[in-house]
Amino acid sequence: MVDKQSMRPHLLCSGLLCLALMFGSLACGGGSDVESMDALSQMEIAFEGAYTKGQIKENHDKTMALYDVPINEENYSRSGSALVGLRKETGIKEMAILDYMIRSKVPGVKISFPEAAAISASFLKAGDK
């Protein structure tokens, strides 16, 4: 049996690395139909679960505001890519990560969006609800 406490540092480190790479750079593309869509439309396709663009925008906007991320197309794209990367790495759905980020935000504690997303995915992966 895997000790959940010993998993957390590993998941956090790998999650932060993944986010640093994704959040810090934009993907270059060749002009496919998906790449020509706005970021929220891309998230509607890429996110696991049957979420509407409106539901994704609502949760995303709340989370971005809590973590002082300006709400704009570039940041939607970066954070959406980071969340998809975390889902692929941990198996935790993107909207579950956003929900956890909203629930776990502590007023007065300064933490970046990528750090909060990685920590949230790590805790959810370890069994926290």
Domain boundaries, the chain: 7-12+33-125
The span from the CA of 83 to the CA of 62, in Å, is 15
Is the model's pLDDT at 12 over the cut of 80? no
C-beta neighbour count of 35 within 10 angstroms: 11
Residue with tokens 């049996």: 1
pLDDT digits (tens, 9 = 90+) for 38-62: 999 999 999 999 999 999 999 999 9
- Which is more confidently placed, 14 or 76? 76
Contacts of 125 (CB under 8 A, 6+ apart): 7, 11, 90, 91, 92
Please say whether the beta carbons of 12 and 117 come within 8 A.
no
Average pLDDT of the segment spanning 27-36 = 57
pLDDT of the residue at 29? 44
Question: Mapping DSSP to helix (H, G, I), strand (E, B) and coil, where does residue 106 land?
Answer: coil
pLDDT at 129: 81
CA gyration radius, the chain: 14
Count of other CB atoms within 10 angstroms of residue 81: 21
Tell me the per-residue pLDDT of 60-112, one tens digit each, with 9 for 90 and over.
999 999 999 999 999 999 999 999 999 999 999 999 999 999 999 999 999 99
Q: What is the pTM of this model?
A: 0.76
Query: In the prediction, which pLDDT does 24 show?
Result: 47
